[in-house]
Structures are given as structure tokens and as C-alpha cells.
Amino acid sequence: MVLIRIPDENRKIDEPKEAAKYLSELGIVYEKWSSEYSVDGSSTQEEILSAYSKEVEDLKKSGGYTTADVINIDERTPGLDDMLNKFNKEHWHSEDEVRFTIAGRGIFHIHPENGPVIAVEVSRGDLLRVPSGTKHWFDLCEDRNIKAIRLFQDKSGWTPYYVHEGVEGQYQPICFGPTYIRH
Ligand SMILES: [Fe+2]
């Protein structure tokens, strides 16, 4: 269930169609994929890629993506803080950032060229396609876990180009989504 917050306008969008429309105006694709598949946080990469093979193949064709994998991050991930510190500083890539969330949740902040910074919270069933060149950063929610399919145009292209303007420090990476369970 996606939730968009626009902190500078004190505004929230939690209706999926409205969220997709807002994002599409920024060039970002949002889709809600069916959760009828019996994959969850305990499923293997092979099970997940197999369950979503049709959707993944369709995306590959439409976006020129060549490979897909599954990223799985939780408290037990070695070097978790170092990894998160690479994601949570404003940056952009020379290829699209495409993520489909299987389990867990996270928050993308997106900094459009013309318009306010938005926070997009994603959880199970949410596909987000952020076009190349778009400034963004990513944080986990407090429960610090996410499992997601990633698609790449060129796997070696996952290079973050950091902006170094400190914009991320102006926004609290706190999740508010309705599926968020506080511990
Ligand atoms: Fe990124």
C-alpha cells in the first residue's frame, strides 16, 4: 500500500490511483501488483522470480532491463548500516531504479527538478520505477527489513552519483503508512 507525503505542503496521498497519477506527472511509474502469489519474506529468490516471471519479463521488455534479482535486507544483514548509508544520501543513477516490494517496507524520498520533495512509502505489492537522472534517497522503516525484486538495464550501472547538498537532512525518514506496525 503506497503512501505519498509531501512534507513542504503538509499533504498526504494514500489512494493508489491518485498516488499513481501524482507520480506519473513526475515521470515515475507506480503499479500495484497482485499479491495472489504465495511469496513472502521467507521465500527464496528463485521462488519470487518464478512467481512474478510474467510481470518481470513484461517490465524487461518495456524498460530495456536485462537482469532481475532479489535484495533481502534485515537486521541480520552483515554491514547493514554501511549499506544503508550508501542509499540514504541524495543521489541519482544513469539508469532507472526499479523496485518491486515483496515484504517489509521502505521509504523513497524523491527530489524532482521542479517541485517539492516527496516521500513515497512502499510495502508488499508496490512497484516503483524511478527514471534515470532523478535525484532520490532511500531509508528503511523502523523495523528495518525489506525484500524486493530489482531490475537493471546494466548491473554495473548501479552507481550512485551523490549530490552532496545535504537535502536529505531536512526530511525525517519516518514511516507512517497504514501497514506499518510499531514494535
Ligand atoms: Fe538509488
Q: Where are the domains of the chain?
A: 3-170
Residues 55-104 pLDDT 10s: 999 999 999 999 999 999 999 999 999 999 999 999 999 999 999 999 99
Per-residue pLDDT tens digits for 22-37: 999 999 999 998 767 7
Q: How far apart are the CA of 89 and the centre of ligand 1, in A?
A: 9
* Span from the CA of 110 to the centroid of ligand 1 (angstroms): 10
DSSP, collapsed to helix, strand or coil, labels residue 27 as coil
pTM of the model: 0.92
- The top-level CATH class assigned to 3-170 is mainly beta
177 pLDDT higher than 80? no
Which residues are CB-neighbours of 93 under 8 A, at least 6 positions away?
Answer: 132, 133, 157, 158, 159, 160, 161
Tell me how far the alpha carbon of residue 8 lies from the centroid of ligand 1, in angstroms: 22
Expressed in angstroms and rounded, the spacing between residue 111 Cα and the centre of ligand 1 is: 12
Question: How far is the centre of ligand 1, averaged over its atoms, from the C-alpha of 94 (Å)?
Answer: 10
Residue 92 alpha carbon to ligand 1 centre in Å: 6
More confidently predicted of 42 and 180: 42
d(CA 154, CA 96): 10
